[in-house]
Amino acid sequence: MEETNKRTPRRDSRMRRTACDLRRRIATPGRIIYGQLLRGVAYGVGSGSVSLLILWWQSRH
């Protein structure tokens, strides 16, 4: 009798799911770039506002 490994289907489905996720991310490079651009803008705005807040506070005290 041949023994079956119960973990093989799970591993295969996980590998397939990972491969599909990678293909989707590669297929939509515009979304990744757009997300990175938004993140960069948000960091820039946050950094600029903190700098302005510090300058304002220093001028007051």
Which pLDDT does position 27 carry in this prediction? 65
Say if 58 falls within a structural domain.
yes
Q: Six-digit token pair at 9?
A: 């289907």
Q: Which residues of 12-29 are buried (b: 16+ CB within 10 A; e: fewer)?
A: eeeeeeeeeeeeeeeeee
User: What SS3 state is found at 3?
Assistant: coil
Q: Is residue 12 part of a domain?
A: no
Alpha helices in 28-60, H assignment, sequence order: 29-60
For the full predicted model, state whether its pTM sits above 0.75: no
Q: 10-56: per-residue pLDDT in tens? A: 667 888 888 887 777 776 666 677 888 889 999 999 999 999 999 99
Q: Which residues constitute the domain of residue 38?
A: 29-61
**What is the pLDDT, as a whole number, of residue 41?**
94
Residue 2 inside a domain? The answer is no
Sign of the C-alpha dihedral, residues 23, 28, 33, 35? negative
> What's the confidence (pLDDT) of residue 40?
92
Domain count within the chain: 1
